[in-house]
Amino acid sequence: MPKIATREAYGEALAELGEEIKEIVVLDADLSKSTKTSIFAKKFPERFFNMGIAEQNLIGTAAGLATCGKIPFASTFAIFATGRAFEQIRNSICYPNLNVKIAATHAGITVGEDGATHQSIEDIALMRALPNMTVISPADAVETKKAVRAAALLKGPVYLRLGRHPVETVFNESYEFQPGKGLVLKEGRDVALIATGVMVAEALKAAEILAKDGIDAMVINIHTIKPIDEEVILKAAECGAIVTAEEHSIIGGLGSAVAEVLMEKKPVPMKRIGIRDVFGRSGKPEELMEAYGITAEDVAEAARSLKR
Amino acid sequence: MIKVAIAKEKLEELKHIARRVRRHIIEMTAEAGSGHPGGSLSCTDILVTLYFHVMKVDPKNPDWPDRDRFVLSKGHAAPALYAVLAEKGYFPVEELKTLRKIDSILQGHPDMKKTPGVDMTTGSLGQGLSVANGMAIAGKLDGKDYRVYALLGDGELEEGQVWEAAMAAAHYKLDNLTAFVDHNGLQIDGPITQVMSPEIIQEKFKAFGWHVIDVDGHDFEGIIQAIEEAKTTKGRPTVIVAQTVKGKGVPFMENQVDWHGKAPSREQAEEALKLLV
């Protein structure tokens, strides 16, 4: 399986979609080479706006464009989009329910060497708390391409969470992306591994590890964290044990969202794999995943501990 | 600078509408028991000029794609905007009594999804100019000739985002955008120069690449001439720095910082209405 960064797939998908959907305009904050909106910029220079290093204005300008019928994709790193411009997203986009897509790259600790200041581990929590916002966290390049199209067609604000580091391709081209619908990638009886983003590939590996131990794990991909697919989570709960896995803080992200559903509808023992309320640091993505306990082995160990 | 001829009757008409709008502001905030009369009264004449003389709008078709746009970046002046929109015919004047009440179409700060004629949801200071930029860029992209107006408070200029937007508007040569600064000199905690001076406002905008016009914000003719000058200014956005009086029209409210965010009592409202005839 080839490894492709979801940001690459985003840039390509956006440039393709630009052909078809003329209302799409793209804004970036001096990071177009990194977010890959540069591909769109090259193809449609008149519909690309570099807003410079000014994220609050980036978001506000996107809101204004949306009031006039445009479909703006506003891109920068996840930490700046959701952190620096949080209140602009809240008051100028989500509250008036404007059709702006915030496609943020460099999410999570797999940003790597740039270190903690650039590693967004709270963005899902922040975006999930906003009414009207749809939060999508694709697992690989194929899913990203389909998610970008789905986001453009959805009416209303969408947060797309994308990564810097190449990830394994999980899906083949025939995959059909349905926003809001969780996906069972592997059936299983003993434990359910619910993952999002780069952790989907890890969860699949974890299921293989568990199989060797005689544990039959179900693997679920939650690409849409909000609105979350309660049905698939309740199906997972039938296994009697759940492990969530995300490249995000364990506070407020996928694990919290799944726990909210379970607590109200069908409580079962669960463990959350994620960043445990600490900041990241510099290092290679793989080293960081190991250091912060978010590898396939960590997911498998959490599952084992639930079955003991 | 070109001088346009403005009929005396027109100026009289604007004056009359402005008086009615000021009466609405007093009645609305008194009825609501909260709100921001001071900064609503200071920008009333600018809003009246825009909606009753300048802007290409259709109250019967508030979402008309080719209309001129207005962004009230200082969203707390919502009573002034609502009163102007009601007078213009976007919704019945009787609705004004419901300001800030549960189930009202008139929220404490402007809400584009609830109030016909409101082009953008605002209230959190510093965000409106960026949105106006987006509207102006969209107009240029679509080859439409609509114009975009934004009104900012002078205290609001303390927000960093305003200057991000100011930089971008000049960078993208948004000559279809005109911003007003309601320069009444006061913010909640006191005179702007004591709290956190944004002065010299004109020099700052000039340095950011804007065309700057000074005007008396209560002189209809001056406001109209300034807007005409903005319309003919090409290649850069225009800011009209309007010298205004907070609480304008109600002597006991004028230049009083306390009237920034306090509603008049019933008695005070009666007193104010007597002065607004």
Annotated catalytic residue A55? yes
pLDDT tier for residue A308 given thresholds of 50, 70 and 90: confident
B239's CB contacts (< 8 A; 6+ apart) are B178, B179, B180, B181, B205, B210, B211, B212, B213
Contacts of B120 in chain A (CB under 8 A): 63-64, 67, 92, 96
**In this predicted structure, what is the pLDDT of residue B2?**
65
Please report residues of B whose CB lies closer than 8 A to that of A54.
Answer: 161, 164, 167-168
Confidence at residue B277, expressed as pLDDT on a 0 to 100 scale: 86
Cβ–Cβ below 8 Å for A60 and B129: yes
**pLDDT surpasses 70 at A188:** yes
pLDDT in tens, B189-243: 999 999 999 999 999 999 999 999 999 999 999 999 999 999 999 999 999 999 9
Of residues B14, B18, B77, the one with CA closest to residue B250: B18
| CA separation for the pair B133, B129 (Å, rounded) | 6
% of residues, chain A, pLDDT over 70: 100
Structural tokens at position A303: 């599952």
pLDDT score at B249: 97
CB B125 within 8 A of CB A53: no
At A215, the pLDDT band (50, 70, 90 cuts) reads very high
pLDDT at B5 over 90: no
For residue A271, the model assigns a pLDDT of 98
CA end-to-end span of chain A, whole Å? 33
For A167-181, how does the pLDDT look when each residue is reduced to its tens digit (9 = 90+)? Answer: 999 999 999 999 999
A76 near B CB under 8 A: no
Q: In chain B, what are the domain boundaries? A: 8-275
Q: How far is CA B59 from CA A3, A258, B63, B109, B139, in A?
A: 55, 47, 9, 20, 20
Mutate to test the interface with A, among B146, B164, B176, B177 (most CBs of A within 10 A): B164
Average predicted confidence (pLDDT) for chain A: 98
Mutate to test the interface with B, among A30, A68, A89 (most CBs of B within 10 A): A68
**What kind and span of H or E run contains A102?**
strand A101-105
CA A14 – CA A153 distance, rounded (Å): 12
Q: Does domain A3-168 have CATH number 3.40.640.10?
A: no
Between positions 265 and 284 of A, the ones with CB within 8 A of B are: none
Q: Which of A44, A59, A67 to mutate to test the interface with B (most CBs of B within 10 A)?
A: A67
Mean predicted confidence (pLDDT) in A200-212: 98
**Strand, helix or coil for residue B152:** strand
Query: What mean pLDDT comes out for the span A75-99?
Result: 98
Instruction: Return the CATH class of domain A183-307.
Output: alpha beta
Partner-chain contact A60 B134, CB within 8 Å:
yes
Domain boundaries, chain A: 3-168, 183-307
Specify the CATH number for B8-275; select among 3.10.20.30, 3.40.50.970, 1.10.357.10, 3.40.50.620. 3.40.50.970
**Alpha-carbon distance B42 to B22, whole Å?**
10
For residue range B127-160, list pLDDT tens digits in order. Answer: 999 999 999 999 999 999 999 999 999 999 999 9
- Of the listed A55, A122, A143, A247, which one is catalytic? A55
% of chain A exceeding 90 in pLDDT: 99
A35 touching B, CB under 8 A?
no
CA B174 to chain A, closest CA, distance in angstroms equals 13
| pLDDT the model gives residue B83 | 98
Q: Which residues contact B30 (CB under 8 A, 6 or more apart)?
A: B263, B264, B265, B266, B268, B269
A chain contacts of residue B126, beta-carbon cutoff 8 Å: 56
B3 pLDDT tier (thresholds 50, 70, 90): confident
- Across B109-135, average pLDDT: 98
Q: Are B59 and B88 in contact (CB under 8 A)?
A: yes
pLDDT confidence bin for A2, thresholds 50/70/90: confident
Task: Work out the average pLDDT over B14-30.
Answer: 98
pLDDT at A163: 97
- Beta carbons of A67 and B135 less than 8 Å apart: yes
| A64 to B121: CB separation less than 8 angstroms, yes or no | no
A139 has pLDDT over 70: yes
Q: Min CA distance, B101 vs chain A (Å)? A: 19
A169 close contact with B: CB closer than 8 A: no
Examine the pLDDT at B1 and tell me if it is beyond 70: no
pLDDT of residue A254: 98
Q: Chain A residue closest to B135 (CA)?
A: A64
Q: pLDDT grade, residue A75 (50/70/90)?
A: very high
